[in-house]
Chain A
Amino acid sequence: MSTESEPRRPVAHRFRRRFTAVVLVLVVVAALAAVVGSQQGPRLKSVSYDASGIVSRPAQRVIITANQALQKVSADDVRVSPAAAHTVTSSGNTVAVEFAGPLAYDRSYTVTVAGARAPGQRATADLRATIRTGTTDVLALVPGTDGAKDRIVRRSLDASGATTVYQGTGITEYVRLSRFLVVLSDSDVGDSRIDVVTLRNGVEDPDAPVEHLTLPTSEGHASALHAADDGASFGFQYADTSTGQSKDVGLYVVDMTGTHMPEAIAADGKPTTGAVPMTVSQWAYVPRTESALVRTATDELFLVDMSGRADLVRLGSATYLHGFVGTGTTAVVESGTGIERVDLTDGKRTAIVAPAASTDAQYLGRIAQLTDDTYLRTVGDVRGDGTIASRIVRVDGSRASRLPVTIPDDASLTAVCPSPNGQFVAVATKSPTGALVSIVDATSGALEASTVGEDVDWCGALPSGDEVG
């Protein structure tokens, strides 16, 4: 009213006016900021993934970090293109997208979190991350010649040369177990030794001591080494030879989350120290699980939980284990009635489709199933000198075609092992001049890389034991 015209306003009054003005300005600024803030959804802050791990191992995660905490994200909110099976967990400002199986090599994937929202806010936003997968590398065993040590080498598919991961004497088998390499070696008289080697940047960690495992008996022979995908345990077949004869031959497990002492898998399927082990003709871990598929000496088929939590599951009988479908929970087994796929979640069996062109040979070998309706099969004809001239047949649904891979006349095919993502296949051959592993495209047969050596790590996923069939 009249206060403006007064020449000297009281100081208190002036202060109060200024104070009010400042508060008002601040309120307006804050309100504007709040409005702008509430209109903006969360933004992508960072994406982390392991480009080579994501193509070579199942259950790998892409971690998407937002700039603020997020309301819980469900699996339906996350789209992956090209499509890949995945699960989603979220906490705080991170969303973890876990892929069931390994992704394809050298390819871009887009992961979109649709409608991401901060708790208590209305605004939503799509978080879109593009990841580029890498290529893989393979491990191969190169036997030492002229007294040199045996080497386990790593061969990258997009670079030449190979790096030595570990070397030792008498190495017969090895398996990759998360950040470890489990190495099985035999002495000159056939006594086995198992070492757990810590890896760092893909090679033996020079700072970490090699753990030398105590085996069940003072003398014995181990074979058929396999490891669980989740890194929790590994197992092997073991024969006690301390009395000069093989006895108590069967399956043993080493729990990496426990004491690291081998325990026998008893006849009831539970790890039991000192028990008589379950007999094994062939076995392997089911991909992504801690369970093993075991064919016993009497051709019974069992699903054994190597951690001992679940009970033994009897799955009928089988005369041969071919392998698994990709990195899934379906096994391919041979029984008296033919070759069948066994769904290990419910035990159902379905016969595989075997076009005539895939079976018109004298020798029918192992099936390596790549996807639900694609597999490779090794077939061969007996040469005049009794050796087998092998070829690889690719079956797509009801169509069979020859995978154009040339195997030299003097060489014999020792193994055909698909890569974890089923895109490539390792073809191991043996000839008088030595052993060779060729990595070829599983669809076109094109050669990607080759390395001197045998026993590729991709083959570790296939059931092993006494090979018949």
Chain B
Amino acid sequence: MSSSESRKPAYLGLGSVLAVALCTLWLAVAGHLDLYINPRYAVFTIVLAAVAVPASIAGLVVVARGAGHTHDHAGPDDAPVARPGGSARLVRATLGGIAAAITIGVTVAMLVLPPATLSARTAQQRSVDSATLSNATGSGTVSLLGSESVDTSGYGVKDWAALIRQTTDTSSLVGKRVTLTGFVVPGSDGSFTLTRFVISCCAVDAQPVGLVVTTDGTVPAENEWVTVTGALAANPDQSADARIVIKAATVKRVDQPRDPYEY
């Protein structure tokens, strides 16, 4: 039996933890962490990553010094009888190799590829038109029915979409002025869906939420980021699910905002 062979899983595990923790810290320092997780969890994540780095280094040091001294019974070295046969060892080695390759691949990809946002294609795959966002993900109670004095200046795409979905009298929203930024998911004639991704936890659970925009001008290209200024109006297409659309006064092309998601 060789002790370096038996410590391999320990190296792999601790090494992976270290690599992921370092990547996370690097993303945090570079300011890209919010592309992957809700900022609400940023501090939590950074603290845990910061704890994980010294802890995994310490673990690696301990393993490297030799694991046999302390725990006589728990050490894998003490169970030579349980050592698997040749074919089992091969399977184990193969699985270990695949796991290592995936870990290294993901880590390298995280470090090498620039952090990217989800795209219009993803939005269509996750069906932005049907606005599947539930109230559970939405901002809960958005209540301003009938009152002009409620400040809606801070409302994002998600908030307006929730309001339109929840209001019992859509005509009470008609004429409200909005200025919203999002990316373009093309729609039918002269309209597109102004879309943002809403993140509850992290990028994997991102749900697209959108508002239909009608414009007399040209519809911008797919995936382009635009700022739309206009007023809410009844959808001219009365058969559509979206009862309220933004009637755009201006559609201005803009750069992708630093934080492309809503939370």
Nearest neighbor of A259 in chain B, beta-carbon distance: B249
Minimum CB–CB distance from B262 to chain A (whole Å) comes to 16
The verdict on A198 contacting chain B, using a C-beta distance below 8 Å, is yes
Q: Contact check, A231 vs B171: say whether CB atoms are below 8 A apart.
A: yes
Q: Contact check, A208 vs B73: say whether CB atoms are below 8 A apart.
A: no
The verdict on A57 contacting chain B, using a C-beta distance below 8 Å, is yes
Residues 44-91 of B contacting A (Cβ, < 8 Å): 73-74, 76, 78-79
Q: State the CA gap A258–B231 with chains docked (Å).
A: 7
Do A48 and B74 form a contact, CB below 8 Å, given A178-B171, A229-B171?
no
Q: Report B-chain residues with C-beta under 8 Å of the C-beta of A232.
A: 174-175, 233-234
Minimum CB–CB distance from A75 to chain B (whole Å) comes to 11
Q: Which interface class (under 10, 10 to 19, 20 to 34, 35 or more) fits B?
A: 35 or more
Do A48 and B166 form a contact, CB below 8 Å, given A89-B243, A205-B149?
yes
Report the stretch among A61-69, A142-150, A398-406 that lies at the interface: A61-69
Contact of A257 among B78, B79, B138, B233 (CB under 8 A): B233
Q: Report A-chain residues with C-beta under 8 Å of the C-beta of B28.
A: none
Do A12 and B79 form a contact, CB below 8 Å, given A69-B134, A91-B130?
yes
Q: Contact check, B170 vs A63: say whether CB atoms are below 8 A apart.
A: no
Most buried by A among B78, B79, B135, B247: B135
Nearest neighbor of B82 in chain A, beta-carbon distance: A12
Q: Contact check, A50 vs B169: say whether CB atoms are below 8 A apart.
A: yes
Do A91 and B146 form a contact, CB below 8 Å, given A229-B171, A232-B175, A257-B247?
no
Q: State the CA gap A307–B245 with chains docked (Å).
A: 14
The verdict on B125 contacting chain A, using a C-beta distance below 8 Å, is no
Residues 131-163 of B contacting A (Cβ, < 8 Å): 131-138, 146-149
Q: Report B-chain residues with C-beta under 8 Å of the C-beta of A62.
A: 168
Q: State the CA gap A267–B247 with chains docked (Å).
A: 25
Q: Contact check, B165 vs A91: say whether CB atoms are below 8 A apart.
A: yes
Q: Report B-chain residues with C-beta under 8 Å of the C-beta of A179.
A: 146-148, 172
Do A199 and B146 form a contact, CB below 8 Å, given A53-B168, A179-B172, A232-B174?
yes
Q: Contact check, A208 vs B148: say whether CB atoms are below 8 A apart.
A: yes
- A11-B73, A201-B146 known; 15 new pairs, CB 8 Å cut-off, are A50-B168, A54-B168, A69-B134, A72-B130, A89-B241, A92-B133, A200-B147, A200-B149, A208-B149, A230-B171, A230-B174, A230-B234, A231-B171, A256-B175, A290-B234
Binding site for A on B (CB under 8 A): 73-74, 76, 78-79, 130-138, 146-149, 165-172, 174-175, 230-234, 236, 241, 243, 247, 249
